Chains A and B, each alone.
Chain A
Amino acid sequence: MNYIWLLPLVPAAGAAINGLVGIRWFQRRVAAALACASMTAAFALAVFAAFDVGRVPDGREASLGFWIPPIPLATARGIQPFTVQWSLLIDPLASVMILIVTGIGLLIHIYATAYMNHEPRGGYARFFCYMNLFCAFMLLLVLGANFPVMFIGWEGVGLCSYLLIGFWYEKTTAASAGLKAFLVNRIGDWGFLLGMLAVFFTFATMDFRALAAQAGTWPIETSHFGTLSVICLLLFVGATGKSAQIPLFVWLPDAMAGPTPVSALIHAATMVTAGVYMVARNAVLFSHAPLVLTIVAIVGALTALMAATIALAQNDIKRVLAYSTVSQLGYMFLAAGVGAFSAAMFHLMTHAFFKALLFLAAGVVIHSLAGEQDMRRMGGLKRYLPVTFVTMMIGALALAGIPPLSGFFSKDEILLRAFETNRLLWLLGSLTAVLTAFYMFRLIALTFYGAYRGPAHSAEWRGPQEPAGAMTVPLMALAIGAIVAGFIGIPAALGGRNAFERFLAPSFAQTRALATHQAASPHLDASPAQAGALMLFAALLAILGIAAAWRFYVDRPGVTARLASRWPGLDALLRNKYYVDEFYGAIVVRSTLASARGLWRFDRRVIDGAVNAWGWSTRILAWLSYMFDKVAVDGLVNAVGRGAGEGSAAVRRGQTGLVQNYALLIVLGVCVFLTAYLIAR
């Protein structure tokens, strides 16, 4: 079954071609067609694979051989071979994710072909290269059969997120938002990596299935914080980074500096759900650590509530959606935390539809107003953008949880399971549900209702206009998804079969057995009547939120200003997002910068000082050596030379240079020799 390898490879090939060749040479149409074609192929493969999983619910594993051949390493169980295989695992859980990634990814790619059209040609191809690369890494993350392969995808999507947030890197805000996302994610990745290593140390394997099989035999750590709890907590730290939960959620709102299709694909539908997916993938591990699950649930619920309150006071349309995403991810963790992993995955799936839809619709709004993102300068767009209005309305209703749209079913499932586990968590979730409906309809009201407050029409610009089909068709497709996606998980209380949960059941089989095994823990199963009442209550909450928003922003637009002036502190608190960024800036960033500056000073003073001292001592030594050369060695040579010169001065006088003198001397010499010869004879 090696064809599942093609799933990440097809988008990767698209990215490689667009990146290596396309940026320089491809026309827009070619780059866009290539990216969309690779996504279409991946989607087809994903559908095929999902059908295959339907037939073989235990899933299939495919291995392409060793990445790291066995190395003996010390673990808690003695020396064990450390080995990593390039293996992918496709089971019901993974198949849901690949369908989301490739299906919604394809729609967003199509949308982006029109949305990015005013980019220069090279940037256009670069954008699609990054998008395809993101999908490739996301598929690798989802399909990885062990922690290291998943981690490659995990880091790869982080990289693509960074590249795409900072896509308009000439803008300082975009570049620094990318950096912030990357750095905050690194903190989470630190936990994830430690968790991974702890898994290997404890179990001597990093393969998800082998891990689940082994962990399944361990006792459940109900009362003490043991090894499994530590591992799960570390893994959850990784999840909070990637899925923007307290305390690491600060990067996601800033990530809206990227192009809107990126926000829809990466920061709403897929990458940010990777944390939820990872927790679900290790459901057996987590269900052995109920204390950590409680932490997960509390963090999720608090994040959901906090982000929803912040979203109330934001004026940037994309930021409202970003905080909404944080809030909805909180719901998913709440679900995972109460042990309802399949409910978390259900909400992940429905959320992917309606949040991608909302982002894409917001993109249309922003486009039609020539880049305006402030909702205070929108208004009355219903007349101009009818298709966008209808689809965005569907998305907002789905998000608010109005039956029978998809969000209702998934959110209700989560609230029901929270109700069964802990009433306080359910209360937080319900409160969030009201706020969610409120801020979504505040957004709708400010954007589509009231008077038009956008830029004035002129001769060149004839007001906001519905865009081309490439942008509206994905909106309509996602709207249909947002309507019908819930029907695959109609709960038993409404006479449904919850097909989604049954489809996922093989992936969570061991967890289920665990839950029944855990009979001792207080588990308040709601009766069908209770469940029905809760459902009605949830729907009423959503309607209440919508009605309140309607009253505040459509009927009496002045009320909010009066409320804000009555509680200026609360208004400022929400408007400034609880000052979390400022708090981190003061505590983390400043201390980091201070310590960096301290280290810099240490470098300057001590290390540079030592280097400079060494340099100076060398210079002094060199000067001494130079002086010795100059005085002693040169002096000796010069003395020899001068002695020779002065000694020869006397002799030099004989050298007159006059030939006749020499000749005279020769003759005299001959005469002397002749005389001596004659006398001696």
Chain B
Amino acid sequence: MQLFPITPYHYLLLGAALFALGVIGVMVRRNIIILFMSIELMLNAVNLNLVAFSRLHGHVVGQVFALFIVAVAAAEAAVGLGILLAFYRNKETLNIDEMNLLKG
């Protein structure tokens, strides 16, 4: 049973919503792990968009792209978590407000 047909636009909307959630998470949260997760959220929102456009245009390239991004994201997550771990060992905190080494 189907209440209404789910078109690619719905997927695009979902992607936009997820991306917005990610952006807000990055900007308002203080815990760096949450920030990291929010960045992953934005990444996957984009993935969703790619797959949706692939479907919309009947072209498989978008899906291939999405698969690549998943693989790269996995690597990026490993690197990111490694940096976080090193950072935590140094500072004994995960608060993003205390990470201001780049301050001019």
Residues of A whose CB lies within 8 Å of any CB of B are 648, 651-660, 663-664, 667
What chain A residues lie within 8 Å of B99 (beta carbons)?
Answer: 657-659
Task: Give A664's nearest chain B residue, CB to CB.
Answer: B27
Contact A656 B27 (CB under 8 A): no
Contact B103 A663 (CB under 8 A): no
Contact B26 A663 (CB under 8 A): yes
What chain A residues lie within 8 Å of B23 (beta carbons)?
Answer: 663, 667
What chain A residues lie within 8 Å of B26 (beta carbons)?
Answer: 660, 663
Complexed CA–CA distance, A660 and B23 (Å): 10
Contact B100 A667 (CB under 8 A): no
Contact B27 A652 (CB under 8 A): no
Complexed CA–CA distance, A648 and B104 (Å): 10
Complexed CA–CA distance, A221 and B99 (Å): 118
Report B34-59 CB contacts with A as 1/0, cut-off 8 Å. 01000000000000000000000000
What chain B residues lie within 8 Å of A651 (beta carbons)?
Answer: 104
- 14 A-B residue contacts at CB 8 Å? A651-B104, A653-B104, A654-B104, A655-B102, A655-B104, A656-B100, A657-B100, A659-B35, A659-B96, A660-B27, A660-B28, A660-B96, A663-B23, A663-B27
Return A656 CB to nearest CB of chain B, in Å: 6
Contact B96 A652 (CB under 8 A): no
Residues of B whose CB lies within 8 Å of any CB of A are 23, 26-28, 35, 96-97, 99-104
What chain A residues lie within 8 Å of B96 (beta carbons)?
Answer: 658-660
What chain B residues lie within 8 Å of A667 (beta carbons)?
Answer: 23, 27
Contact B27 A655 (CB under 8 A): no
Task: Give A667's nearest chain B residue, CB to CB.
Answer: B23
Return A421 CB to nearest CB of chain B, in Å: 118
Complexed CA–CA distance, A652 and B103 (Å): 8
Residue in A651, A654, A659 with the greatest tally of chain B CB atoms within 10 Å: A659
What chain A residues lie within 8 Å of B102 (beta carbons)?
Answer: 655, 657
Complexed CA–CA distance, A660 and B35 (Å): 9
Return B66 CB to nearest CB of chain A, in Å: 22
Task: Give A654's nearest chain B residue, CB to CB.
Answer: B104
Complexed CA–CA distance, A351 and B23 (Å): 129
Task: Give B38's nearest chain A residue, CB to CB.
Answer: A663
Complexed CA–CA distance, A667 and B20 (Å): 10
Contact B104 A657 (CB under 8 A): yes
Task: Give B103's nearest chain A residue, CB to CB.
Answer: A657
Complexed CA–CA distance, A653 and B104 (Å): 7
Complexed CA–CA distance, A658 and B26 (Å): 12
Contact A657 B101 (CB under 8 A): yes
Complexed CA–CA distance, A465 and B103 (Å): 107
Complexed CA–CA distance, A667 and B42 (Å): 13
Complexed CA–CA distance, A673 and B89 (Å): 40
Return A471 CB to nearest CB of chain B, in Å: 99
Task: Give B29's nearest chain A residue, CB to CB.
Answer: A660
Complexed CA–CA distance, A659 and B99 (Å): 8
Complexed CA–CA distance, A667 and B101 (Å): 22
What chain A residues lie within 8 Å of B27 (beta carbons)?
Answer: 660, 663-664, 667
**Which 7 interchain pairs have the tightest Cβ spacing?**
A657-B103, A655-B104, A657-B100, A652-B104, A657-B102, A663-B26, A658-B100
Complexed CA–CA distance, A651 and B23 (Å): 26
**Given A648-B104, A653-B104, list of 13 further CB < 8 A pairs?**
A651-B104, A652-B104, A656-B100, A656-B103, A657-B99, A657-B102, A657-B103, A658-B97, A658-B100, A658-B103, A659-B35, A660-B28, A663-B23
What chain B residues lie within 8 Å of A656 (beta carbons)?
Answer: 100, 103
What chain B residues lie within 8 Å of A659 (beta carbons)?
Answer: 35, 96, 99
Return A646 CB to nearest CB of chain B, in Å: 14
What chain B residues lie within 8 Å of A654 (beta carbons)?
Answer: 104
Complexed CA–CA distance, A648 and B23 (Å): 31
Return A182 CB to nearest CB of chain B, in Å: 85
Complexed CA–CA distance, A45 and B90 (Å): 102
Return A660 CB to nearest CB of chain B, in Å: 6
What chain A residues lie within 8 Å of B104 (beta carbons)?
Answer: 648, 651-655, 657
Task: Give B28's nearest chain A residue, CB to CB.
Answer: A660
Complexed CA–CA distance, A651 and B104 (Å): 9
Task: Give A659's nearest chain B residue, CB to CB.
Answer: B96
Complexed CA–CA distance, A537 and B55 (Å): 159
Return B98 CB to nearest CB of chain A, in Å: 9
Complexed CA–CA distance, A290 and B101 (Å): 113
Return A543 CB to nearest CB of chain B, in Å: 123
Complexed CA–CA distance, A120 and B65 (Å): 102
Task: Give A651's nearest chain B residue, CB to CB.
Answer: B104
Return A275 CB to nearest CB of chain B, in Å: 99
Complexed CA–CA distance, A665 and B100 (Å): 16
Task: Give A649's nearest chain B residue, CB to CB.
Answer: B104
Residue in A648, A652, A653, A658 with the greatest tally of chain B CB atoms within 10 Å: A658
Return A16 CB to nearest CB of chain B, in Å: 82
Return B39 CB to nearest CB of chain A, in Å: 10
What chain B residues lie within 8 Å of A657 (beta carbons)?
Answer: 99-104
What chain B residues lie within 8 Å of A655 (beta carbons)?
Answer: 102-104
Complexed CA–CA distance, A664 and B101 (Å): 18
Complexed CA–CA distance, A116 and B103 (Å): 94
What chain A residues lie within 8 Å of B35 (beta carbons)?
Answer: 659
Task: Give B98's nearest chain A residue, CB to CB.
Answer: A658
Complexed CA–CA distance, A656 and B23 (Å): 19
Complexed CA–CA distance, A652 and B102 (Å): 11
What chain A residues lie within 8 Å of B28 (beta carbons)?
Answer: 660
Task: Give B100's nearest chain A residue, CB to CB.
Answer: A657
What chain B residues lie within 8 Å of A658 (beta carbons)?
Answer: 96-97, 99-100, 103
Residue in B26, B97, B101, B104 with the greatest tally of chain A CB atoms within 10 Å: B104
Complexed CA–CA distance, A592 and B39 (Å): 102
Task: Give A670's nearest chain B residue, CB to CB.
Answer: B23
Complexed CA–CA distance, A654 and B103 (Å): 9
Return A674 CB to nearest CB of chain B, in Å: 12
Return A619 CB to nearest CB of chain B, in Å: 46
Complexed CA–CA distance, A584 and B104 (Å): 91
Return A541 CB to nearest CB of chain B, in Å: 121
Complexed CA–CA distance, A656 and B100 (Å): 7
Task: Give B99's nearest chain A residue, CB to CB.
Answer: A659
Return B15 CB to nearest CB of chain A, in Å: 16
Complexed CA–CA distance, A651 and B96 (Å): 23
Return B41 CB to nearest CB of chain A, in Å: 14
Return A460 CB to nearest CB of chain B, in Å: 92
